[in-house]
Amino acid sequence: MEDKKQEKSIEEAIEGVREYTARRTAEAQKKPGVYIKTFGCQQNEADSERLCGIAEAMGYVNVGAPEEAELIIFNTCAVREHAELKALSLTGQLKHIKAQNPELIICVCGCMTAQDHRMGDLKNKYPYVDLIFGATSPQKFPEYLLNTIRRREDAHESRKRLFFPDSDALITEGLPVRRESSYKAWVSIMYGCNNFCTYCVVPYVRGRERSRRREDILAEVSELAAEGYKEITLLGQNVNSYGKDLYNGEYDFADLLGDICRLEGDFWIRFMTSHPKDASDRLIDVIAENSGEGKTGPRIARHFHLPLQAGSDKVLREMNRRYTSDYYLSLVKKLKEKVPGIGITSDIIVGFPGETEEDFEDTLKVLEEAGFDNIYSFIYSPRKGTPAAEREQLPKEVKSERFAKLLEVQNSISLKKNRAYIGKTVRVLVEGISKNDPSALTGRSELNRLVHFKGDEKLTGRFADVIITDADIYTLSGELAEKNETNGSGDCAW
């Protein structure tokens, strides 16, 4: 009942904006443009695809430059200060575009704006921003935009700008979506986070964990597979706690993954992110059964992103991660034993408050022992409102030095790991012409590693076999295996 009511009000708001864009189209003899810039993680990219789909349903057309747009949306990130400063600086640059185009509506949304102090900054220091809302309410976007348009057109309305702190963290199914790629798709399976790691702002800006119903997820994945999507990435801040809020322990992420693997289609599945404390043996078994030479063949890409954050048990405790380095390493061992060939990547933070030289050495030790294929490393960035931000901070130089050392150690591990692929055949999903070499194609391996090779552009969006002939720290290169070439049309013999 609530769902139906909500659906109706979204439809009415979409219709309301459509009337406005139809008028603008008649005046300008072309549809008004929408320009969306996304900061931050894959979840934000997925949210932006929804916002773009909604904007198109409201009569806008997607454009590639802010100068061509009548609606600009910045979907922001708050995980580190750097991302916020970048979003604010680019928002500042919109001032002159707005001065030249009074019809322009500027909207800033997402995690950064879900924080009161940033909402305040935008209200007070960026008067040309018309609409601000947080990260949990994309379904409210049509209503917010319609109100903004109406206020602007109402001569008696003095408050032309609108600010919405996050209101309801509902899940709305069936919102329009405009996917960036025709062969790779994001599927959010849950939103929010309950973990409250002491450095992290996500639980504050994205709210508590909310899982989508399994039938909605399975229907979306089936549809994508039927449309020919080759890679489906399941998204959540901690996918391993999927279903806890809905199914009372009777259906979890391992079950969902198993059900998705049984769907028809020629695609592989990725998922992120997994919190180590919630990675169950059943989950590892499902991966083992459905990847590599498992029961259903290579259905799940053999890649596990398992954020470590720190190697010192003291720091892990202070981060509220709720595992030890020994537990973490035992998980890595189990994954490697049960899923031969699996690639493991991780997130590491250096310079957490109170991190000593010894603590940092512990991180390097775990790095060596785990043998990550790749890491995403971050210098700790204090986030307002989180417990760690209240603590005494380490000097900038110490953080930078540790960051450089971490990269140096990981680079040599990554190089060794990559060189071990030489002579082997890897399956890649072809992404098209290489950005650096127009005569080559690039693809992504199961591990999401960039692979360069010569081949027909028609292979784009398809799986291909590549024999690796060379490797550096970040990329592999090779040659198409014969079984691809004999397929002429680019169809792959999987």
**Residue 378 interacts with which of ligand SF4, ligand SAH, none, CB < 5 to 8 Å by class:** ligand SAH
Phi and psi, residue 338, nearest 5°: -80, -25
Q: How far is the CB of 166 from ligand SAH (least distance, A)?
A: 18
Q: Are strands 71-76 and 303-305 parallel, antiparallel or unpaired?
A: unpaired
The helices-and-strands tally (H runs, E runs) of the chain is 16, 19
Provide the phi-psi class of 29: left if phi over 0, else alpha when psi is between -120 and 50, else beta: left
Query: Per-residue x/- mask for ligand SAH, residues 95 to 134, rule CB under 6 A?
Result: ----------------------------------------
Residue 309 sits in the site that holds ligand SAH (CB under 6 A): yes
378 binds ligand SAH (CB under 6 A): yes
Out of ligand SF4, ligand SAH, none, what residue 230 binds, judged by CB under 5 to 8 A for its kind, is: none
Residues 19-48: x where in contact with ligand SAH by CB under 6 A, - otherwise, as a string: ------------------------------
For 428, the token pair is 């890649």
Minimum CB separation of residue 237 from ligand SAH in Å reads 4
Q: State the binding partner of 203 from ligand SF4, ligand SAH, none, CB within 5 to 8 A by kind.
A: ligand SF4
Q: What span, in angstroms and rounded, lies between the C-alpha atoms of 86 and 67? A: 19
List Cβ neighbours of 356 (8 Å cut-off, separation of 6 or more): none
Site string for ligand SF4, 216-255 (x = CB under 6 A): ---------------------xx-----------------
Q: How far apart are CA 379 and CA 351, in angstroms?
A: 6
114 binds ligand SF4 (CB under 6 A): no
Backbone angles phi, psi at 304, to 5 degrees: -125, 115
CA atoms within 13 A on the CB side of 415: 8
Yes or no: say if 346 and 308 are a contact pair by the CB < 8 Å rule. yes
116 exposed, middle or buried (CB, 10 Å; 0-12, 13-18, 19+)? exposed
Q: Closer to ligand SF4 by CB, 105 or 193: give it.
A: 193
Place of tokens 């990554």: 414
The smaller minimum CB distance to ligand SAH, of residues 236 and 461, is found at: 236
71-76 and 61-62 strand pairing: unpaired
- Specify the residue, 16 or 203, whose C-beta has the smaller distance to ligand SF4: 203
Out of 12, 22, 174, 196, the residue judged to bind ligand SF4 by CB under 6 A: 196
Applying CB under 6 A, among 79, 187, 342, 426 the residue interacting with ligand SAH is: 79
Which does residue 444 bind out of ligand SAH, ligand SF4, none, counting CB within 5 to 8 angstroms by kind?
none
68 binds, among ligand SAH, ligand SF4, none (CB under 5 to 8 A by kind): none
Rounded Cα distance between 307 and 385, Å, is 22
- For residue 198, the minimal CB distance to ligand SF4 (Å) is 9
Q: Which stretch binds ligand SF4 (CB under 6 A): 69-77, 156-164, 199-207, 458-466?
A: 199-207
Stretch that binds ligand SF4, among 65-73, 197-205, 213-221, 360-368 (CB under 6 A): 197-205
> For ligand SF4, which residue of 195, 393, 411, 487 counts as binding (CB under 6 A)?
195
Query: CB 130: neighbour CB atoms within 10 A?
Result: 23
State the DSSP string of 114-167.
GSHHHHHHHHHH-TT--EEE-SS-GGGHHHHHHHHHHHHH-TT-----EEE---
Tell me which residues touch ligand SF4 (CB under 6 A).
193, 195-197, 200, 202-203, 237-238, 275
